[in-house]
Chains A and B, each alone.
Chain A
């Protein structure tokens, strides 16, 4: 499996470096055609692992720009019923009982390296892309919600109600489970997730997005520079989302 993935990468790299259109004769009468292209035509790359670094000390308690940006980008919203409303990202307040100090931070799918939601999924709908982004294939999700029980971060939601006016890039509907996609449609275009962009726009700059495998990326440099933690490190899931100052 991993061998096959490697082959794909090298073939794509080869196509990118070469002509715009390449054809490959697989068997008599069967021709594989592939369009090579610019960096803008990016795709899931096994050589990358996307992650987030969230600095809780910079996250303002009264700010929810990341949440509204996520709602606008992916087209989910509350219907006023807190028990069944979906939440792709939420603000969590931690309180140190002895000192009374409060910390505010956003929590979303942690995009684990060993995701429990993928382990338990009976249909294979819950999956991890080769660049580390954990997604739900809603075409084969049966809505059993086993992943919701398995997730230690309560990151997944079940869609209880009929949905209209979905975004073309973020299909979502009744009877399936969903969660943060790390704005995979933007990442594939070389852009950053909507929450990170919104956080930057407010001036807080509490979120950094980048490739954890690239030692030169800003996220990797910051992770090397100062201490950070994963949520529930005891579970050894190696999440792609890490926190500072919590």
Chain B
């Protein structure tokens, strides 16, 4: 009992140390952001970012107040993770800012079915679309491949 508590405590300490650094180890690799840090602090943003965006989206859509603090577009002004060429990556890329944590916790957010995942003006290649839905990226992109897959499955039965 005491040993298991000790181990649990040790894991928690390790995890929190990694989380505090935010890079490597057991925790997710969080891409560097540009711009000023959030005045609320990173812990607050990690806990509440979804609530902030949900509240502000409703205010924007129903009441037409478009000068909100929290918006998905606003996130990407600072949180646009870039590839080797310096181009911001789309949600299809595992290095995307949102995916760095959401992949870690095995959550697929569907924000980017409708919202663009790059700053305005940065092209999202067609491969980005293939990410949607429950199909694997290669099948989702190609209806022919899907039909072939289903045909093969039928024959296999």
Q: Which residues of A contact B (CB under 8 A)?
A: 8, 35, 37, 41-44, 127, 129, 131, 135, 137-139, 161-168, 171-176, 184-185, 187-189
Whether the Cβ atoms of A137 and B116 lie closer than 8 Å is no
* Interface band, chain B: 20 to 34
List 7 tightest A-B contacts by C-beta distance, closest first: A173-B114, A162-B129, A44-B64, A173-B113, A171-B114, A164-B124, A168-B73
- List the A side residues contacting B66 at CB < 8 Å: 43, 185, 188-189
| Minimal beta-carbon separation of A193 from chain B (angstroms) | 14
What are the residues of chain A within 8 A of B132 when measuring CB–CB? Answer: 162, 173-174
Q: Is B154 an interface residue (CB 8 A)?
A: no
Complex A-B: 8 CB contacts under 8 Å: A37-B67, A44-B62, A131-B64, A163-B114, A164-B116, A172-B114, A174-B133, A188-B66
Residue-wise, chain B 114-125 has the 8 Å CB interface mask toward A (1 for contact) of 111000100111
Q: Which residue of chain A has its CB nearest to the CB of B117? A: A164
Whether a CB of chain A sits under 8 angstroms from the CB of B57 is yes
Contact status B63-A43, CB under 8 Å: yes
B residues in contact with A35, CB < 8 Å: 67
Residue contact B125 to A44, C-beta cutoff 8 Å: no
Smallest beta-carbon distance B156→chain A, Å: 28
Q: Taking A44-B63, A162-B133 as given, write out 7 further A-B residue pairs in contact, using a Cβ cutoff of 8 Å, ordered by the A residue number.
A: A129-B62, A135-B61, A163-B129, A164-B126, A166-B116, A174-B132, A187-B64
Residue in chain A with minimal CB distance to B69: A35
Let me know if B126 and A171 touch, CB within 8 A.
Answer: no
Q: Taking the nearest CB of chain A, how far is it from the CB of B41, in angstroms?
A: 19
The answer to whether B55 has its CB under 8 Å from any CB of chain A is no
Does the CB pair B64–A164 fall under 8 Å?
no
Do A129 and B129 contact each other (CB < 8 Å), given the known contacts A166-B114, A167-B120? no
Q: Most A CB atoms within 10 A — which of B57, B113, B130?
A: B113
Residues of A within 8 A of B62 (CB): 44, 127, 129, 137
> Are A174 and B120 touching (Cβ within 8 A)?
no
Contacts of A172 in B (CB 8 A): 114
Contact present for A188 and B64 (CB under 8 Å)? yes
- B residues with CB within 8 A of A: 57, 61-67, 72-73, 113-116, 120, 123-126, 128-130, 132-133, 140
Residue of A nearest to B112 (CB): A173
Tell me, rounded to whole Å, the shortest Cβ–Cβ distance linking A91 to chain B: 27
CA A168 – CA B133 in complex, angstroms? Answer: 21
Q: Which residue of B lies closest to A162 (CB)?
A: B129
| Chain B nearest Cβ from A159, distance in angstroms | 9
Nearest-neighbour CB distance to chain B for A158, whole angstroms, equals 14
Quick check: A164 and B114 within 8 Å, CB to CB? no
Assembled-state Cα–Cα distance A53/B114 (Å): 31
Query: A42 touching B125 by the CB < 8 A rule?
Result: no
- Are A174 and B113 in contact, with the CB atoms below 8 A? yes
Complex interface: chain A residues within 8 A of B61 (CB):
135, 137
A165 CB to nearest B CB, Å: 5
A162 proximity list for chain B (CB < 8 A): 113, 129-130, 132-133, 140
Hey, which chain A residues are within 8 Å of B113, CB to CB?
Answer: 162-163, 173-175
Contact between chains at B115 and A166 (CB < 8 Å): yes
Q: With a CB–CB cut-off of 8 A, which chain A residues contact B115?
A: 166, 168, 171, 173
Q: Looking at the assembled complex, report how far the CB atom of B31 sits from the nearest CB atom of chain A, in whole angstroms.
A: 20
Q: How far is the CB of A48 from chain B (nearest CB, A)?
A: 11
Task: Give the Cβ gap from A141 to chain B, nearest Cβ, in Å.
Answer: 10
Asked whether B120 lies within 8 Å of A168 as measured between CB atoms, the reply is: yes
Contacts of A164 in B (CB 8 A): 116, 124-126, 128-129
B124 touches A176 (CB 8 A): no
Contacts of B73 in A (CB 8 A): 168
A43 engages B129 (CB within 8 Å): no
The chain A residue sitting closest to B127, CB to CB, is A164
